[in-house]
Structure 1
Amino acid sequence: MGVSNEKTERCGTICLKYLLFAFNFLFWLAGGAVMAVGIWTVVEKSDYISLLSSSIYAISAYILILAGVIVMVTGVLGCCATFKEQRQILRVYFVLLLCIFLLEILAGVLAYVYYQQLNEELKENLKETMVTKYRQPNEDHVTKAVDKLQQEFKCCGSNSSSDWNASKWIISESKDSRRFVPDSCCKTPVDGCGKRDHPSNIYKVEGGCITKLENFIMDHLKIIGAVGVGIACVQIVGMVFTCCLYRSLKADPY
């Protein structure tokens, strides 16, 4: 009877090992996905980050990158701990899982909080940034971001093309070469095309670029929040498996 119980316990331990190994492999892949989302947000969309006064959007992305790196390292550690059946490594693995869980929940919460305040921030700051920093000394990153924003989203100005009337750059130009809007507002951008302020030449979008940028960032905040919270929920399964295996190994006489 005792031998039968020992065999059953041993079989349970083996099953838990393979379940945890499968989880760690999937977890490692998920870590790569989390890191990729964070890197993509920072690298591909970094121009737009310079148009925001708050750094929460960027911080959320950096947290995902950090969490993704730790997830991939933890996945390898978890596989080693599982097959070596060392409770000490399992304890370290569990603590790392808990830290990643908290990081990803934090990224999700930050994304949600910023989602709520994004509209007000853009209303307060986007126009000011565009008219005071565009084509100004040491503000090349803003100029690049504004040009990319207007061309990519086919818009002109924060709320409308008339916002550019207050631009420091446009006011400082001589009358002969003065543009009404930057050349990036043009439907077919060529040098000097911004001198002709006509709907057939420049983008006249209702709501201006502020609506386009807000929708774009909100979509990405949803992705950041969903990825962070989604992977965190999956980790709960991993922590449960780890606790079960730890208890099983503690009771296992072999």
Structure 2
Amino acid sequence: MRDYSENKETCGTICLKYLLFIFNFFFWLAGGAVMAVGIWTLAEKSDYISLLQSNTYMATAYILVVAGVVVMITGILGCCATFREQRSLLRVYFILLLCIFLLEVIAGILAYIYYQQLNTELKQNLKETMTQKYMKPDEVSVTSAVDKLQQEFKCCGSHNASDWSDSEWIRSPDALNRKFPDSCCKTVTDKCGQRDHPSNIYKEGGCITKLENFIQEHLKIIGAVGIGIAFVQIFGMLFTCCLYRNLKSEPY
């Protein structure tokens, strides 16, 4: 009976080792995916961050990048801990899994909260940001973001094209009699913003709804990635706890 019990425990430990190894392999790949989503958000989709008052959108992306890097390192550590059968390494591995789990849950929660607040923030601040900061010497990022926003989404102003009548730049001599920025034009040419006509200017819709939809889509991705990977980690922590209990204590 004793031999049977020992063999059974050994088989269980071997199964757990391979389950944890397979988990770590896919976990390492998931870490690369998480990091890629964070970098993609910061590098390719952050053009409009200067138009937002809150830093939550950027913070969620940075959390994903950090979590992705730590996940990849942790995946390697997990493989070493599994095959060397060292309980001390398994303890460190479990703690890192728990930290990553918390980071990704935080990213998911932040994305969800900001998703709910985004409409209110844009309604309160977007028009003022566009009309008061556009073409200011120290607001180059805002100017670039506004021009890209209006051209990419074929819109003009926050709510509509008439918002630009409140612009400090439009009312100044520097605008050279433009009624709108040139980026409001359907075909952008130098000083095309001088001609106020529906055939020339995007007058039918403002940019606020289009920007909101754009950012919300990316918040959905960030939230889904954060919560999804965190859910998968629960299995990794369970496998680690089971293997830890099955291994004999290290000799001292």
Structure 2 unaligned blocks of 5 or more: none
**Match for 1:193: what amino acid?**
C
Compared with structure 1, are the counterparts of its residues 251 and 202 closer, same or farther at alpha carbon in structure 2 (3 Å cutoff)? same
Shift of 1:141: 0.4
**Match for 2:164: what amino acid?**
W
Contact 2:87 2:249 in 1 (8 A): no
Contact 1:150 1:185 in 2 (8 A): yes
Query: Please, what TM-score do these two structures have when normalized by structure 2?
Result: 0.97
Compared with structure 1, are the counterparts of its residues 174 and 216 closer, same or farther at alpha carbon in structure 2 (3 Å cutoff)? closer
Equivalent residue, structure 2, for 1:241: 239
Of 219, 222, 225, 1:224 maps to: 222
Structure 1 unaligned blocks of 5 or more: none
Correspondence 1:105-184 to 2 at 5 A = 105-173=105-173, 177-184=176-183
Identity %, equivalent residues: 73
Equivalent residue, structure 2, for 1:191: 190
Equivalent residue, structure 1, for 2:90: 90
Contact 1:47 1:142 in 2 (8 A): no
Tell me, what secondary structure is at the counterpart of 1:42? helix
1:215 aligns with 2:213: yes
Contact 2:86 2:250 in 1 (8 A): no
**Match for 1:199: what amino acid?**
P
Shift of 1:250: 2.9
**Match for 1:83: what amino acid?**
F
Deviation by residue 1:8-51 (Cα, 9 ceiling, x = unmatched): 11111111111000000100111111111111111112220110
**Match for 1:233: what amino acid?**
F
Equivalent residue, structure 1, for 2:99: 99
**Match for 2:234: what amino acid?**
I
Compared with structure 1, are the counterparts of its residues 11 and 174 closer, same or farther at alpha carbon in structure 2 (3 Å cutoff)? closer
Shift of 1:174: 5.9
Aligned-residue RMSD, C-alpha: 1.5
**Match for 2:215: what amino acid?**
I
Structure-1 separation of matches of 2:110 and 2:102: 12
